[in-house]
Chain A
């Protein structure tokens, strides 16, 4: 039977000399092991001792155990700290080496722009309405005051299937359908979707394209409200520094009618090559809904009025991302699509 304090000194000396965590592990087992550890062995034959001796031995053994445990923990912390101190050298990697290609797919830039437009207008309380791409003559033209022989109709030269059916030339038919369906204003809707016009493909226009039109029908709407809505939309999409102007124009389905322009993003409205020295870029058309168009949608113009606007999603994307040829959107060359 050895003396607890001598055993403690011996153990502490061994711990002090230990170089690795494995060594500490061995020392721990040797001295503190549950079965056969040398500290535990001190208690062998304790049963034969008297109560006082029993108590004093027990106390001494416990002290020895605590001292050894504390020394082990301290040494472990020391060894671990020195091991981690070397990590910078031992496990260094070349962080400039590029990661492997992710092989991710891309969401079409027109989807992205459409999504932004929907989000911005939804934040103003507008709801998305959809409608058929193959439309009837009535919804595409007549209901919008574009009667047969109307001189403005040549701006909406269309693809026909027969005298009654055609590919819609704008998403305005959805406005009529929405008014008929909703019946009771207030109506605040936007109508994104594909449209078709009989224009030969070139860098600035295509026979197929996508529009977003908006329609608000409520009590006491004004040209100012329309301007504010367009300004909110444009600034949300392009930044606070953009300005919007409305310029009188003519559409049979609005009165008054306007084109709306946005200050050029390159020169900020001063005039530069990319805006052809105008300072403004043409974006779309807008106006106060013609009373007859409201009537065609089943809305009483004596009680309600409205404003509407429309523009091409491609045009918005071209302005936003400096795309100079509209055909790129529909050509599906991955080298283009993967830029967005």
Chain B
């Protein structure tokens, strides 16, 4: 919300309070001033246009003005035609910097002398209007502009959603007055009432269909108004707040909205059928030509203001064009109503139209505000547009605002804040904010919040009121601490437990990534991993409309992106949840297994892929070992995304954790990746669950014996099977066996391969003899021959 510093001065004495001071006080009170724009008009002077003629030779339309500046006349050229002779205009002389930052120079334009500039409202930062020169309604040529327009300061402030009362200058001024401890010069409820006969309620019939959607509707009748421009000071303030002046009646409704935060609307009474006001839901297929010139189609969940025949306004959002106040209007119906916040928000959203009015109604205004706003507007209309205000307006108020009382145990203030606020100070603060405080016999305070403060309902709300005016910077920072008889022992978080995996991955050259969990559902379908996908019903775009069921596709995209940016060797991983809808009830939360996934690029050849696969396997084994979990075994498998001949299920203690393998060539190709990519994705939680504290073993006291063994078998025999046989047949003396080479070629028959193993034998009781080891070796060979038809190379 835009706040004019000058306007605040109507309500309290700002003597000695600079705009910057005011902004700081408001921010400390909870009205965050996000920017402060100072508009210094002291260098601008008033000029009177004596003559205006078009520039004869310029290609663009330009006007040459002779401007009276009090003691001399100067020639000034402008692009806008509206500074006709007799106009009073703001003039920036050569050498001045205009508030918008432009430096004015003495110059010639297409051969004509141009000494200065006639300013638009936009250039003076007095509004958005840059179409024409700002025309003043008074002032003496040669005087400073500040004799008619004071220098300005505009604050842009963020109003929290619980404080609609602060969406007007009066509410802001009330806070500022409380913060500065200065009196507020304006009462909330204006005393003004109409006097003309007959009673207004006899002139227009008001009905409300649904009190849940509209709890109050005041229709004030004012007859015989003179529609014309509003005074310069009002136009200036409206412009400063970003509102375009229209005519005095409309300007007054907007002015009061910006003052009281109560939206108002003025109808041309003569154009209302009935004349009647019917607050009802729109009928199907009703339409309304709105004030902004657009015709809008209405639906039955929208609340409208209708006359006897048709909608004339969309409640709380925008008025209709046909019943608007125009230059021909004589009699006015002034609407001051209360509409339900959710209903206005829904309508405003459905129409894609947010207005000053809807922004306020959305936050649930107090119905009592309507009368205050109506009275203020009526008094301004009577003062500035003449007309007679009728007495006893129609005021349909089916749901009167209930007064709220809150009991406060004053010690709660100190208890919650953690500092001592003297009782007199707390009471004074509440009174400054218009709370009524009654101290009861038992010391508790019976507090009546002002009618415009619907947000205060519990004692803690009152603590907040006291605290923010007292000043939270006066509350000393402390750490909680007391003797405790119960506690939760400290335990490392899940993420910290995973750090040992991150260390292994970092050491192996893998970089961690965080990728969005929302991905393209279409892509998951193309990859055939969309079976348990959860689709967002209101996505921002279709490339993030579905929760990922696997972390791998994100990493594949990371490879593609980094390849595109010139990185050939990409090794990345991510630890994040995958989301799998549960079968059955769609209202149950999905499974969110935490996954570790990693990918690495390899070269172009099948051999590159094979080597990369084994390397990645070591990385995965290293990760598992880092968590001190049992080693994984690998079983040939086929899975989506993976190469059919190069994929394994990762198994730990009989439980499948996930897959490792080379990506299927079509998957890599779909991601525009040349060459081979290896990857794995596993569930992390079972690994953590299987994690054990490592127990120290005694170091060996006797030397070990190493033997190599080259086993020739048919291609189909897996190294894993050979290892299992070796371990099984070797007995206790075999400490370690490791496969270290695979060989095909000379000395190995076609369709066969040679797999080389290193075996380490050791006894914990004695030094082994060659003869002992030879015996075990020959038992291993027998078993290998028998089970795998193996032969041996020397």
- Residue ranges of A at the interface with B (Cβ–Cβ < 8 Å): 103-108, 110-111, 114-115, 118, 122, 124-125, 127-128, 130, 132-136, 148-149, 151-152, 154-155, 159-162, 164-165, 167, 182, 184, 186, 192, 194, 196, 198, 200, 207-208, 210, 216, 218-225, 227-232, 244-250, 252, 255-259, 276, 288, 290-291, 305, 329-335, 337-338
Is A159 a contact of B539 with CB atoms below 8 Å? yes
**Please, how many angstroms separate the alpha-carbon atoms of A104 and B518 in the complex?**
29
Q: Would you list which residues of chain B between 510 and 547 have a CB under 8 Å from chain A?
A: 510-518, 534-540, 544, 547
- Taking CB atoms, residues of chain A closer than 8 Å to B336 are none
What are the interface flags for B575-595 relative to A under an 8 Å C-beta threshold, 1 for contact and 0 otherwise? 011010000001101101000
* Cβ < 8 Å to A, chain B residues 346-372: 362-364
Would B494 and A124 count as touching, CB distance under 8 A?
A: no
Which chain B residues in 459-485 approach chain A with CB under 8 Å? Answer: 460-461, 463-464, 467-468, 472-473, 475-480, 482, 484
**B364 contacts A248, CB within 8 Å?**
no
CB proximity to A under 8 Å, residues B317-363: 341-342, 345, 362-363
Contact B496–A115 (Cβ < 8 Å)? yes
- Rank and list the top 4 A-B pairs by shortest CB-CB distance, nearest first: A222-B418, A224-B418, A248-B30, A128-B493
Q: In angstroms, how far is the closest chain B Cβ from the Cβ of A170?
A: 16
Q: State the CA gap A112–B128 with chains docked (Å).
A: 47
Q: How far is the CB of B267 from chain A (nearest CB, A)?
A: 28
Tell me if A333 and B478 are in contact (CB < 8 A): no
Is B181 close to A, CB under 8 A? no
Contact of B565 among A104, A222, A250, A333 (CB under 8 A): A333
Q: A115-B499, A186-B484, A222-B478 are in contact. Are A332 and B572 (CB under 8 A)?
A: yes
Q: Please give, as numbers and ranges, the residues of chain B lying within 8 Å of A122 by CB-CB distance.
A: 490, 493
- A105 near B28 with CB under 8 A, answer no
Set of chain A residues within 8 Å of B507, measured between Cβ atoms:
104-105
Q: How far is the CB of B620 from chain A (nearest CB, A)?
A: 14
Q: Mark B143-160, 1 if CB is under 8 A from A, else 0.
A: 000000000000000001
* Any A CB within 8 A of the CB of B441: no
The answer to whether the Cβ of B416 comes within 8 Å of any Cβ in the partner chain is yes
Q: Which residues of B contact A228 (CB under 8 A)?
A: 477-480
Known: A115-B496, A255-B460. A224 touches B477 (CB 8 A): yes
Whether A250 contacts B160 in the complex (CB less than 8 A), given A229-B479, A256-B463, comes out as yes
Are A223 and B30 in contact, CB atoms less than 8 angstroms apart?
no
Q: Determine the chain A residues whose CB is within 8 A of the CB of B478 once the complex forms.
A: 222, 224-225, 227-228
The minimal Cβ–Cβ distance linking B165 to chain A, given in whole angstroms, is 13
**Cβ A105 vs Cβ B508 within 8 A:** yes
Beyond A165-B587, A186-B486, A330-B515, list 12 extra A-B contacts (CB 8 Å). Answer: A130-B493, A151-B162, A151-B345, A186-B487, A219-B482, A224-B419, A224-B477, A229-B480, A248-B29, A332-B515, A332-B561, A338-B511
A224 to B27, CA, bound (A): 20
B479 to chain A: closest residue by CB = A228
Q: Please, how many angstroms separate the alpha-carbon atoms of A196 and B62 in the complex?
A: 54
When C-beta atoms are compared, the residue in chain B nearest to A244 turns out to be: B477
Binding site for A on B (CB under 8 A): 27-30, 32, 35, 160-163, 341-342, 345, 362-364, 415-419, 458, 460-461, 463-464, 467-468, 472-473, 475-480, 482, 484, 486-488, 490-491, 493-496, 499, 502, 505-518, 534-540, 544, 547, 558, 561-562, 565, 567, 570-573, 576-577, 579, 586-587, 589-590, 592
Q: Which residues of B are found within 8 Å of A338, using beta-carbon distances? A: 511
Could you pull out 20 A-B pairs where Cβ atoms are within 8 angstroms?
Answer: A104-B507, A105-B508, A111-B502, A115-B496, A128-B495, A167-B547, A210-B514, A220-B415, A220-B482, A222-B475, A223-B416, A224-B475, A224-B477, A225-B418, A225-B478, A256-B460, A256-B464, A330-B515, A334-B572, A335-B567
Q: Write out the residue numbers on chain B whose beta carbons fall within 8 Å of the beta carbon of A124.
A: 479
CB-CB under 8 A from B495, the residues of chain A are 111, 114-115, 118, 128, 192
List, in ascending order, chain B residues with CB within 8 A of A133's CB.
517, 577, 579, 592
A198 to B496, CA, bound (A): 30
Residues on A with beta carbons closer than 8 Å to the beta carbon of B464: 248, 255-257
- A105-B512, A184-B486, A337-B513 in contact; A291/B458 too (CB < 8 A)? yes
Q: Which residues of A contact B562 (CB under 8 A)?
A: 332-334
User: When chains A and B are docked, how far (Å) is the Cα of A114 from the Cα of B498?
Assistant: 13
Query: Is there an interface contact between B416 and A288, defined as CB atoms closer than 8 Å?
Result: yes
A105 touches B592 (CB 8 A): no
Given A133-B579, A198-B538, A222-B478, A330 contacting B516 (CB threshold 8 A): yes
